[in-house]
Amino acid sequence: MATATKIVRLRQEAERRSDKRNGKKRALAEHTLATLSQLGYARTSLRDIAEQSGVSVGILHYYFEDKTALISYCVQLYKDDFVARLDAVLTAAGPRRSIAEGFIDRLVEAVEADAETHRLWYDIRAQALFDESFHGVVADLERAMIELCGRLLQRLDIKGVAPLDVYLGADGLFRYHLQRKLAGDATAVGDLREALAAMLETFGPLRP
């Protein structure tokens, strides 16, 4: 009995340490995202990130093997949250048209409120063409987005359309209007909303 109790205590202690470690990693990732969003991948060093985070480079190395591991974790963290926000729209009750409008709203809000962070995603995706260490995180996130588009098609009851086609169409529009927004184009956000709605209509009428 005493041995069983000790095992439980050791397991609880291990879980507590793991939660604490994960919390610290997330806090470091949030600081890193703020720095990377402004400077981009190529112009940001671990020293820059350490200074912005108020920690030493040694602390960063304690939690992350190198800059690539840190940035991959950051991008995964943010995009997982982004996918979850979009997924929440698809699981909500309501008619198909309101689901489509809600999905478009989340994409438009992302460009409006988090343009710099999404710019980082496209930066890392481009880096993956040259640096294979980013292949895994990019492939995982694109797979998640394609699966999300598949769930969107199911929710809207649109048949005969491949999720990949929806992803490529939506991603192209998102990146194009994101670039316009970052360049100071005040019409980019409104144009994105109209373009996404028109794209969905081409896949099938949004019945009630």
- pLDDT, averaged per 10 consecutive residues of the chain (208 residues), comes to 55 52 78 76 81 84 86 84 93 91 96 89 90 90 95 93 96 97 96 96 74
DSSP 46: H
Tell me, what's the pLDDT at 156? Answer: 93
**Is 11 contained in some domain?**
no
**Is 192 contained in some domain?**
yes
DSSP 42: T
Tell me, what's the pLDDT at 12? Answer: 47
Tell me, what's the pLDDT at 2? Answer: 58
Tokens of 193: 């909303």
**Is 33 contained in some domain?**
no
Half-sphere exposure of 158 (CA within 13 A, CB side): 25
Structural domain total, the chain: 1
Tell me, what's the pLDDT at 98? Answer: 92
How far is residue 62's CA from residue 57's CA, in Å, rounded to a whole number? Answer: 9
Given phi > 0 = left and psi -120 to 50 = alpha, else beta, which region is 159?
Answer: beta
**Is 35 contained in some domain?**
no
The CATH number of the domain holding residue 156 is 1.10.357.10
Q: What angle do CA 177, 181, 186 make, to 5 degrees?
A: 110
How far is residue 194's CA from residue 166's CA, in Å, rounded to a whole number? Answer: 16
Tell me, what's the pLDDT at 14? Answer: 46
3-state class of 45 per DSSP? coil
**Is 7 contained in some domain?**
no
Domain around 121: 66-203
**CA-to-CA dists, residue 167 to 16, 60, 68, 88, 149, angstroms:** 39, 34, 26, 18, 6
pTM: 0.81
Tell me, what's the pLDDT at 91? Answer: 93
Tell me the one-letter amino acid at 2.
Answer: A
Q: For residues 192, 194, 198 and 204, what is the CA-based torsion angle, rounded to 10 degrees?
A: 100
Tell me, what's the pLDDT at 10? Answer: 46
**Is 59 contained in some domain?**
no
**Is 185 contained in some domain?**
yes
- Considering only CA atoms, which of 184, 186, 183, 43 is closest in space to residue 123? 43
**Is 14 contained in some domain?**
no
